[in-house]
Amino acid sequence: MALIVFGSTYLVAGGVLAMVITVAKGGWARAFKSVSSGLLAPLGTIFGLLVVFILAQVWSDIDRAESALDREASALRTMVLLAPSFPAEPEAQIQDLVRQHIDEVVYTEWPAMAKHSATLKVTPPALAQALQLAISLVPTNEGQSAAKREMVTAVENALDARRQRIILSQSRVDRLKWGCLFAQAICIFVIIAMASRIKQSVALKVTDPELIEMFDNVAFDEVIAHSKLDTKTGVILILASTLFKR
């Protein structure tokens, strides 16, 4: 994924640069001279703020999702710990229902959440049966009465935590935010291309093509290839042309 993101970024940057060079050749080179690289500072600040706002939403959703998962796991653990208070058949039923709910979460709900297709329209059957079982238990002493109340509360907590994690699984970054972020990035690419040294070369090709032709002849090895200059003199000429270009 990282390679795709970086590759796409380089492709977009290259496309913007090619577009700017093409436009400059069409007669806009002089207009580009009025563009200052000082624009990059405010544009970069705005871009950074947009990234921070998006990340803040994502991190907040992650924290809330982790909290919901912890609550659900804690509630299921409480049910298992309270099950021995009702020995024999009720205990086995509670443990079996908890196991069924965990299997449903792992193999059914979790893949659906990853695809943003999980829904709250269907109540988890295992937890629904566990709630009915907990309510129908008939305590015979104070300890079982307290265990029954805690078990009902634990099942309700598990249902609420499940509702929270499914709601959070449907949360996405708004398309408008992504659009603003991409538009800001394109603006930054355009300003960089317009204010770069490549822009200066394009402007010179329009305003002083003879100078650029002489520079290219020296910088790109044509003088050395088609003359009798020694290597030292050729290197000096290349360095001189480079310094002049700067």
SS (H, E, C) 77-137: HHHHHHHHHCCCHHHHHHHHHHHHHHHHHHHHHHHHHHCCCCCCCCCCHHHHHHHHHHHHC
Q: What is the mean pLDDT of residues 70-79?
A: 94
- Comparing 66 with 212, the larger pLDDT belongs to 66
**pLDDT for the residue numbered 67:** 93
One-letter-per-residue 3-state SS of 176-223: HHHHHHHHHHHHHHHHHHHHCHHHHHHHHHHHCHHHHHHHHHHHCCHH
- Comparing 74 with 55, the larger pLDDT belongs to 74
**pLDDT for the residue numbered 31:** 62
- pLDDT exceeding 70 applies to what percent of the chain? 70
Amino acid at site 194: M
Mean pLDDT of the chain: 79
**For the segment 209-241, what is each residue's pLDDT rounded down to a tens digit?**
666 666 666 555 555 555 666 666 766 666 666
199 pLDDT tier (thresholds 50, 70, 90)? very low
**Could you give phi then psi for residue 31, rounded to 5 degrees?**
-65, -30
Q: What is the mean pLDDT of residues 110-114?
A: 89
**pLDDT for the residue numbered 150:** 93
**For the segment 92-107, what is each residue's pLDDT rounded down to a tens digit?**
999 999 999 999 999 9
**Could you give phi then psi for residue 138, rounded to 5 degrees?**
-110, 105
Model confidence at 192: pLDDT above 60: yes
- Comparing 74 with 2, the larger pLDDT belongs to 74
Most confident of 21-25, 113-117, 222-226: 113-117
Nearest to 23 by CA among 190, 180, 143: 190
Q: What is the mean pLDDT of residues 45-64?
A: 85
**For the segment 135-190, what is each residue's pLDDT rounded down to a tens digit?**
998 888 888 999 999 999 999 999 999 999 999 888 887 788 888 888 888 887 77
Rounded-to-integer distance, Cα 146 and Cα 219, Å: 89
